[in-house]
Structure 1
Amino acid sequence: QPVNLRMADQEESTQKLIYPFAIFRLGSKQVVVKLLENDSPGLNPEQVINNSVSLLEYKFANAMKKIQAPSKPVILYTKGHGELSDLQLADLDRSLRIFYDTDRISLDSVIQIKPEDCALMIIAKPTSTFSEKDKFKIDQYIMQGGSVLWLIDRLNASLDSMRLTGRFIPSDYPLNIEDLLFKYGVRIQPDLVLDLECSSIKLVVGQVGNAPQFDLFPWYYHPAVLPNGKHPIVKNLDRIDLHFCSSIDTIRTKTPVKKTAILTSSKRSRLQFSPIDLNFDILKYPADPEKFDKGMQTVGVLLEGVFPSGFENRVSEEMQNGLNQLGMQFRSSSVPARMMVISDGDVAANYIRDAEQKQWLPLGYNHMENVTYANKELMLNAIEYLIDPNGVIEARSREVKLRLLDTVSAKANANLWRVLNVGLPLLLLALFGWLYTWLRKRRYQ
């Protein structure tokens, strides 16, 4: 998509369509790199350019590394627990397939999962129960150094559930993974985060003839999270569109685990605890900012370090005998591993326009607001970091500061600088010529 570049001076203004992209080619492989970041509310054009320049090193290094890679790492999505469908993950999967091999895995169909066979496991919005066997396979995969991206909804809240009657009381999803996450150092609370900085939804406000009339309303249950950290996963990212997310508490673990809050709501947030009566009555009156007083709530956490097993002291003699017969060794603690937990499964889901025709919109695009959020960039950055934290993604954390001109002062003194730039060199040249001639005359007198 071209960008309209406007150039103006005191005499004239011109506009040009430019394509701020670079293309890397190697044999039959091709990688397109976007050079200019999207405009963000509150940022002037100079700041957008500064952010774009800061990311150039990472983007170029990342493209060159991946286009030269002899093989692709494998990413596996779990299935069998009501996870997001292939169509809901279509845009993310299409983006990943450029650099990774992706597939679905049913945990009950394998004996074990090894990190050398699976660089990353994605558990995207499960809605049904994980068996103890499935949990054990995930646990031992992590103990061997495997990486997991957890995209977990604690409550089964959604707009679709509310549209029929205008209200809905969400319940907990019976996932049976709370004990695992607690052991690893996090707890997703049975609550919903409301944020004054949120995206909007369309509701019918009237009818003209046979055509319903819609209007946009801020929907506080959909926080538009603006990452403000310096971590390479989120540095310079635009807002993330989250739906019915819950707060996340970090828990002290018996092993050293570094916990980094990657996503947080704004300072104007509040919580509603289950059971919650979701209804549209909240939109009838203007929001009272004084009630949004709970401060920033963590909704995304990165965990790195040595994790204790969720099955420590829980392996029976019969279970151990079975492991021995399969030639498997139980690990009570992990080698250094990584995982990320986000309390919203829909963060990775693209909107489905037509399920029968398999038509979907890009990940992050909000069809109600006609705005694109940075959900896809967040997912791609998180996946890249979880697979290779010491790779080129570290370049995202480097700062490049451009010394921006004071445009007002520059325009006001433009004529002075023109005279100096043209006249001063001529004056110095004339002075040098006169001095040279004078010295020669003096030498031969």
Structure 2
Amino acid sequence: MNLDEYYGRRVLVDQPQWQETIPPTSVEVMPTMELHGQRVRCLRCGHETNRRLAALPNDEFYCPHCINLGRVSTLNKFYHVPEPNQFTVQRPVLTWTGQLSPLQEEAAVKVDQGLAARWYQLLWAVTGAGKTEMMFYGIAHALERGERLAVASPRVDVCLELYPRLEAAFQNTTMVLLHGRQELPYRYAQLTVCTTHQLLRFYHAFDNLIIDEVDAFPFAANDALLYASQQAIKEDGGCLYLTATPGPVLLRRVKRGELTVSYLPLRYHGHLLPRINLQLAPGWRRGLRRGHLPTSLVARLRRSLADGYRFLLFLPHVADLAAVEPLLRETLPGCSFATVHATDRHRLAKVQAMRDGKYDFLVTTTIMERGVTFPEIDVFVLGADEPIFSSSALVQIAGRAGRAVSRPTGTVCFWIATQCRRVRSAVRQVDFMNRKGRSLQQ
């Protein structure tokens, strides 16, 4: 067996193997489940389940909560080898030659200090601030110290976007990319890029863990992934959370002093975020069923097009795309656009066509709230008060505008049927960061 496959990991081994094979003395054989009265606790994801719901034949038990990673049960054991940090550091560690803005530099120094001290810290940076580049100095110094690091994100597409950037920035460092669709085998590496689900496979592995887009689904609402992130960090390790939209759990931890926090309220071009404008449209769904779009929405779309600006129009549900598309073709004749949603087979091609300037606008769902950048666009949301739009999603959507130096402003407008807390929270978050940004501009 290759011991390095077990370094800092909990590798699931089934009953015949762990009963018939004696592992080397350096390998710890660990239980997978704990029984507490009528409850069964999974030691991989931390969930507790009623014995009746977790029962297997012959008084054995399994965990139904993390079964998508392979069934873990009392028939299994974990093989684990404590992380030895067996790395050869090749210099230069940092091969990135870009430049940070003064504000990015200031935030990067704080990140570096936090990683060196192994703090639990939050970097609250507005969308489009350049969070990835601000990690580079801290990661480089940690790698030079011989630490093992992971950069994790809840979303596969973010990991796929991060990996080549980190690979280019740290060309002399061993790296591995891990996610559920990965076909390449696991290998031991000093820097791991992975989805937060993959952290369930690690145990006290990382000296520092960086979680990007920490507010994104599914991490933000998943106790198992929070448990996994804590288990993956060494007992004396640190964690850096990166987000533009911290949720209430993170903010409470900041208030309790469990997290240090750094702010970056301005984008790299030094401008404030476009402010969210609200428009009441109480009967827009009824009007849609009758074949009408809100008059104020149509007027706003026409104004953007007349001013020469493209836009994204977000709708709550996929079914709304089919209802709105013919109305837009009727009211905006001569415009070129497409609808996009998560299961659209041509999604990537349509996004690329928008990047290439072939469309005047896209009509989409929340699938495009993150990870896409189009220069000089406006952003509109119809039905922003519907439950599908969380406050963090709305901030991310608003953050699609104003990202280009050539047009650092842009118009952001939400049409709502009624006032709601999620929309108010999104407006407050943008205004809060803009107040901090103004203090830096003075």
> Which one has the bigger strand percentage?
1
**Which of 1 and 2 has greater Rg?**
1
- Range of TM-score over shorter length: under 0.3
> Which one has the bigger helix percentage?
2
Taking structure 1 as the reference length, the TM-score comes to 0.24
